[in-house]
Amino acid sequence: MKFLPFAFCLLILALGSACKKPEPPVPVVHVKPVEVVPYEDGYLAGYAMGQKEAKPRDQPPAPESVEPMAHEEGAKDPNRDPKWERGFVAGYMAGFREKALGLK
């Protein structure tokens, strides 16, 4: 007789756990990875050119004045796209500022 309440409790626990609703699966979203290689390549090229052309205490040029230079450099290779040119402008400005203002 002592076994009957214990068995009854086990039966209720087993049935209770089996009745739980399964959680919905986490949705998997397949997204194409963002390609940043052209931007990084342009940034490095612009940074090197900005470092080369800057002189101490020069005022950095406006980004609009660097864009034609980026377009010119980008035209040298057909694989260079607008991302590369944006990276070039950002890199040029960073390299120029760093050398001209003595930030590093």
pTM over 0.85: no
Counting residues of the chain whose pLDDT is more than 70, the rounded percentage is 79
- CA quadruple 49, 47, 88, 67: dihedral, nearest 10: -60
Q: Do 77 and 63 touch, CB atoms closer than 8 A?
A: no
pLDDT greater than 90 at residue 51:
yes
Whether 96 contacts 58, CB under 8 Å: yes
